[in-house]
Each structure stands twice: as C-alpha cells, then as structure tokens.
Amino acid sequence: MKRIKKVLAWTGILLLVLILGIGVIAATRQNQKYEAPYPDIKASADPAVIAKGRHLVLNVAHCIGCHSTANVDSIDFNTVDVPLSGGRLFDLPVGKIYSKNITPDTETGIGNYSDAEIARALYYGVHPDGTVVYDFMPFHNVSKEDMTAIISYLRTQKPVKNNVPENKLNVIGNLVKAFMIEPVGPEGEIPATVKKDTTAEYGRYLAMYVAECNGCHTERNMAGAFVGEPFAGGKPMEAKGYPSLTPPNLTPDPSSRIYGWSQETFINRFRMGKLIPYSHMHWSSFKHMTDDELKAIYKFLQTLKPVKTKTGS
C-alpha cells in the first residue's frame, strides 16, 4: 500500500511539473515573432479602383460584418458610410476576440501602417509588430489587383478613434495560440489579376479567397485549420439566447441545402437577404453581389465533390 501511495505521489508531482512547464512555455510564446515578405502593394487614388475596393470590402469580402458594431442589417451601407472601427465581440471557446479598428486613425486604427504592412498581414498572417494574425479572414490568395483596391478604399475612410479592447484568451486559448496557430500564407504565387467572368474558375476564387464561403461551410478546428470535407457544412454556431445554427452543406449531394436549386433560385435567395434574424451569414453584404459574381459561385459549387451531410451529434 505504501508503495502504491508513493507511486501515486510521484505521478502527481510529475504531472504538476509537466503542467507548469507547458504553462511557462505557452506564456513565453504568446507574442512569438514571425518574418514574412512585404508585398509590393501601393494604394491608388483612382476613383474606379476605390469604387471597386468599396464593393469588395462592403459586399463580397463582407469586412463590414465583423469590423463594425452597427446593425448592418438595418442600414444601406452602400449609400451611407459606416465606419469600420472594430470592437465587435466574438465570444469563442478560446476566449473573447475583438475585431480591429481598420479606419485610418493613427492612434487606434491602421493610419500608421504602410500599404505593404497591411498587405503582409492579409497575405501572410503577420501583424506589423511580427505577431501572428488569427486566420479568420484568409485573403492569402487574393489577386494583387483586388488587394490594391481593398487597401485603396480603406485609406479613403474617415478616421475614427476607437480603442478596441484587447483579446481575452482563456487557458485553452493560450495553449492554442502558443502551439497551434502559425502564420498562413498564399498557396503559391500571388496572382497579379484574376479574370472576372461567370466561370466556375472565377467562382472558386470568390468562394475560397474573397467571399470566403468555405470559412463557415467547411468544418474547422479551434486553431482555424480546415478539418472537414470542403463545403460539406461547418460546425454549429451559437448566438446568445437563440438556437444554434449549422452552416449547411453546399456540395451537389442530395443532402445538400441547395441540391436541385437552379442558378436563378440561387441568385434570388441572395437577393432576399437575411430571413432568419439570428443567422450568422452576412446576407446584408452578399445580397449586393453582382449577378455575374453569384453565377460564378453557383457554377463552382456544382463542381464540388458530393458529400453527404452528417446527421446526429
């Protein structure tokens, strides 16, 4: 009996040392610095480029859905300027994450960031101070032409001073950040431009890299890495006080939400906007996408591998 107690005591001590060791290492890795190239991107003052950037930021890339605390479902933000001043809370299993102020304010926004620093953050997932960017907005393969337009529009916003709270990670969040999150970069060479048409190829570009449909409609782990079949449905998402909603399967399988939909039905659904008040889908942005953009996405979704929707828990 004494021997067993001694073994258990030493086991407890070893586990405690191990836990403390992991905790110390995790603490030292919270502000790990990374290197990444600075893309040759320069903002333009051309009104056409800025207008294109506005369409991408407000509609296709739906930046306004996260970087504003305004009720964008009740505002026509394509005619009224809504500042992208950040501060929206995302209460996640890893902790409380706040969207950043991306107006040109020099104290609390991106006013002191160079064009290349902003592009590096979006392409390579590295902040100007060298720390990692959470991969919530994977614009790593956006064309240089589109990135130029996006940054050009951001530069034209009215600066808004808004001190966004610091992220508050819990124990799990600190461990995830320390050991699982690393910068994510482009899959290959960043394209200079992408042909805009109604092909499935352009639809893939929009769905994967700009509108980021896969970000919700493909299952991901706590570090943000994709772990499920592409577009076969994401993990349940909750809104406080409401039932959870699961991003549906968009593959051509009969169990898919859009199985049997015509191209016209697909487009018309987007034009309707938000029908479920607590839906996480950025309908207020996506309903303003052009017919050609939606046609391209529809055609791309039809090319996906059919995957049966999971049932049960």
Render 6-24 in DSSP notation, one character per residue.
Answer: HHHHHHHHHHHHHHHHHHH
Model pTM? 0.88
In a domain, 184, yes or no: no
More confident of the two residues 10 and 153? 153
In a domain, 37, yes or no: no
State pLDDT tens for residues 55-82: 999 999 999 999 999 988 888 888 888 9
In a domain, 39, yes or no: no
Q: pLDDT band for position 7 (50/70/90)?
A: low
Judgement on whether residues 168 and 214 belong to the same structural domain of the protein: no
Q: Would you say the C-alpha torsion 118, 119, 122, 128 has a positive or negative sign?
A: negative
38-55 average pLDDT score? 97
In the chain, % of residues over pLDDT 70: 89
Judgement on whether residues 214 and 285 belong to the same structural domain of the protein: yes
Judgement on whether residues 9 and 113 belong to the same structural domain of the protein: no
What phi and psi values does residue 64 have, to the nearest 5 degrees? -65, -25
In a domain, 193, yes or no: no
Mean pLDDT of the chain: 89
The pLDDT value recorded for residue 312 is 42
Judgement on whether residues 228 and 298 belong to the same structural domain of the protein: yes
218-231 average pLDDT score? 86
On the question of pLDDT at 15 being above 70, the answer is no
Judgement on whether residues 100 and 164 belong to the same structural domain of the protein: yes
Judgement on whether residues 235 and 165 belong to the same structural domain of the protein: no
On the question of pLDDT at 165 being above 90, the answer is yes
User: Domain span at residue 56?
Assistant: 47-179
Residue 57: partners with Cβ closer than 8 Å, 6 or more residues away? 63, 64, 84, 150, 153, 154
Judgement on whether residues 55 and 170 belong to the same structural domain of the protein: yes
Judgement on whether residues 256 and 289 belong to the same structural domain of the protein: yes
Judgement on whether residues 226 and 137 belong to the same structural domain of the protein: no
In a domain, 308, yes or no: no
In a domain, 158, yes or no: yes
- Domain boundary (132, 149, 179) is at 179
The pLDDT value recorded for residue 10 is 55
* Alpha carbons 19 and 25: distance in angstroms, whole number: 10
* Alpha carbons 120 and 264: distance in angstroms, whole number: 38
In a domain, 21, yes or no: yes
Judgement on whether residues 256 and 295 belong to the same structural domain of the protein: yes
Judgement on whether residues 167 and 207 belong to the same structural domain of the protein: no
In a domain, 169, yes or no: yes
Number of domains present in the structure of the chain: 3
State pLDDT tens for residues 232-269: 999 888 877 788 899 999 999 999 999 999 999 999 99
* Alpha carbons 62 and 58: distance in angstroms, whole number: 5
Q: Which amino acid is at 74?
A: S
Judgement on whether residues 53 and 119 belong to the same structural domain of the protein: yes
